[in-house]
């Protein structure tokens, strides 16, 4: 929709604001939504309600802080990106709360309610843009306000759907309870996504906003396949945690199926878009159609490669192997920072798209190699744990009974069972995995989440 209304330079300014939103949303998820998925997908109703309110409250606080930062940056910069960034700062709390509700529904096993919330967001957003188009041509900043305002409506709908109110006052206690997860999740995201966003800014610096606009137009053409790809991990993690507990072999098959399925879905969509006549594409994207179409295949292939690596990335999260996930980000980061900007200098828009495709292929290879290493390590650890038996006192059938000082046999002294040393059932596991399921996914509800 934005690509149809504004020119290539304006689309580049929107890309800057949207990249900042993606970065803020990723940090918010690391602080609230991802610990909720890992820790509270299978706990009792009261515990989940409290955790959900705390996690969404944490996202609200993150949105306020990030919004203030955006407003401060917008106040000191010039250029077409300043006003869109200020508009984003105003609406960022609503955007992050709406995003957090989506993960609450995934954790609760209610993806249909997440879909309803997203559809309402889209419908309100569309209505606002149509109303704006009835007057003068809206600016990028006004479109950002419409986008974020619609997210505010969906965020309020999330309160109605769950019958829960976000608790920003619980942010401190929530972060303390998740202190073993949050630093790892946040560090992994900041390294990975931070490098990606820095690469976008380097592309704009080496090239111009027109290059970013072309990349955004091609990204718009990827469309539904891209949305499906980005939504898949949040929905897959709770299910794969449960499946792995019941059948590790089925888990491995589903990881591979997920990766190939996501890659294939993007490939099919590429073929569909290539079959669209130019007159229809121009009617949708106007002047952005030609630059977007020119690099669409390369951008589409980069998303297909990301889909191929998504299954392995999700599997590492399910295995709770944060160290290898972080190592993957460190291996990918230098390539992200170097290849696309250099490619822009060599080949402008086409070079940027080719550089991004190379990065995506490298990323998929790294995720799969480290996932295979994690699988081998997990099997070895589980095999050792399965063979360890409690140490027993050595006995020998042929051994003579103990003899007293008077030469008579003496019965051995046996301590009662309660006095014997034993391993406490609550002793912490040195390498914990996510807790096993308490009940099937469909059987627990959060407040008003029951159908």
Higher-pLDDT residue of 305 and 38 is 305
Contact criterion met (CB below 8 Å) for 270 and 304: yes
pLDDT (tens digit per residue) in 349-402: 888 889 899 999 999 999 999 999 988 887 787 777 777 645 444 444 444 455
Distance CA 49, CA 40 (A): 10
pLDDT (tens digit per residue) in 261-273: 999 999 999 998 8
Whose CA is closest to 292, among 224, 232, 215? 215
pLDDT of amino acid 108: 80
Least confident range from 89-98, 164-173, 339-348: namely: 339-348
Structure tokens at 141: 């900043």
pLDDT of amino acid 24: 92
pLDDT of amino acid 8: 61
Average pLDDT of span 308-319: 89
Distance CA 181, CA 259 (A): 25
pLDDT of amino acid 43: 59
Higher-pLDDT residue of 425 and 224 is 224
pLDDT of amino acid 72: 93
Place of tokens 């111009």: 208
CA dihedral 428, 429, 434, 435 (to 10 degrees): -60
Question: In sequence order, what are the residues at sequence separation of 6 or more whose Cβ sits closer than 8 angstroms to the Cβ of residue 353?
Answer: 215, 218, 295, 298, 299, 302
Distance CA 91, CA 69 (A): 12
pLDDT of amino acid 324: 87
pLDDT of amino acid 414: 43
Q: Domain spans of the chain?
A: 1-178, 180-386
Contact criterion met (CB below 8 Å) for 379 and 252: no
pLDDT of amino acid 224: 80
Structure tokens at 70: 């955006």
Of the segments 43-52, 58-67, 200-209, which one has the largest average pLDDT value? 58-67
Average pLDDT, the chain: 79
Place of tokens 């053409």: 221
Residue 448 has pLDDT above 80, yes or no: no
Higher-pLDDT residue of 167 and 439 is 167
Average pLDDT of span 406-411: 48
Q: What is the DSSP letter of 281?
A: H
Distance CA 21, CA 39 (A): 26
- Looking at the DSSP assignment, which residues form a beta bridge with residue 391? none
Look at the pTM and tell me if it is higher than 0.85: no
Average pLDDT of span 18-41: 87
pLDDT of amino acid 450: 40
Coarse DSSP helix, strand, coil percentages of the chain, rounded to the nearest 5 percent: 80, 0, 20
pLDDT of amino acid 284: 72
pLDDT (tens digit per residue) in 76-126: 887 778 888 999 999 999 999 999 999 898 888 788 898 899 999 999 998
pLDDT of amino acid 151: 94
pLDDT of amino acid 397: 45
Contact criterion met (CB below 8 Å) for 382 and 367: no
């Amino acid at each position: 929709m934005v690509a149809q209304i504004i020119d290539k330079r304006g689309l580049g300014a929107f890309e800057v604001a949207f990249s900042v939103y993606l970065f803020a949303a990723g940090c918010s998820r690391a602080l609230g939504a991802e610990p909720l998925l890992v820790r509270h997908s299978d706990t009792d109703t009261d515990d989940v309600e409290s955790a959900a309110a705390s996690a969404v409250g944490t996202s609200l606080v993150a949105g306020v802080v990030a919004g203030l930062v955006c407003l401060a940056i917008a106040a000191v910069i010039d250029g077409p990106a300043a006003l869109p960034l200020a508009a984003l700062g105003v609406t960022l709390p609503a955007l992050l709360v709406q995003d957090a509700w989506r993960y609450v529904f995934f954790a609760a096993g209610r993806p249909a309610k997440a879909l309803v919330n997203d559809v309402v967001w889209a419908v309100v957003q569309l209505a606002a843009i149509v109303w704006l188009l009835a007057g003068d041509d809206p600016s990028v900043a006004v479109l950002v306000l419409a986008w974020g305002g619609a997210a505010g409506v969906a965020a309020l709908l999330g309160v109605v759907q769950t019958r829960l109110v976000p608790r920003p006052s619980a942010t401190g206690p929530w972060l303390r309870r998740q202190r073993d997860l949050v630093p790892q999740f946040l560090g992994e995201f900041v390294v990975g996504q931070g490098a990606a966003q820095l690469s976008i800014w380097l592309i704009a610096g080496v090239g111009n906003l027109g290059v970013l606009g072309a990349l955004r137009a091609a990204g718009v053409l990827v469309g539904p396949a891209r949305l499906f790809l980005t939504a898949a991990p949040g929905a897959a993690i709770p299910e794969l945690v449960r499946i792995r507990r019941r059948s590790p072999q089925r888990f491995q098959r589903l990881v591979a199926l997920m990766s190939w399925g996501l890659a294939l879905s993007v490939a099919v969509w590429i073929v569909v878009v290539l079959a669209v006549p130019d007159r229809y594409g121009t009617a949708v994207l106007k002047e952005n159609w030609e630059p977007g179409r020119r690099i669409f295949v390369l951008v589409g292939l980069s998303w297909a490669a990301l889909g191929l690596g998504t299954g392995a990335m999700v599997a590492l999260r399910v295995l709770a192997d944060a160290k290898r996930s972080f190592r993957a980000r460190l291996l990918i980061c230098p390539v992200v920072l170097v290849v696309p900007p250099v490619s822009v200098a060599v080949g402008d828009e086409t070079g940027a798209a080719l550089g991004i495709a190379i990065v995506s292929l490298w990323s998929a290879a790294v995720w799969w190699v480290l996932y295979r290493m994690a699988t081998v390590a997990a099997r070895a650890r589980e095999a050792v744990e399965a063979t360890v038996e409690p140490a027993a006192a050595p006995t020998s059938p042929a051994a003579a009974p103990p003899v007293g000082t008077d030469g008579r046999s003496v019965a051995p002294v046996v301590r009662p069972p309660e006095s014997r040393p034993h391993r406490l059932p609550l002793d912490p596991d040195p390498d914990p995995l996510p807790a096993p399921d308490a009940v099937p996914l469909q059987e627990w509800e959060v407040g008003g989440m029951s159908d």
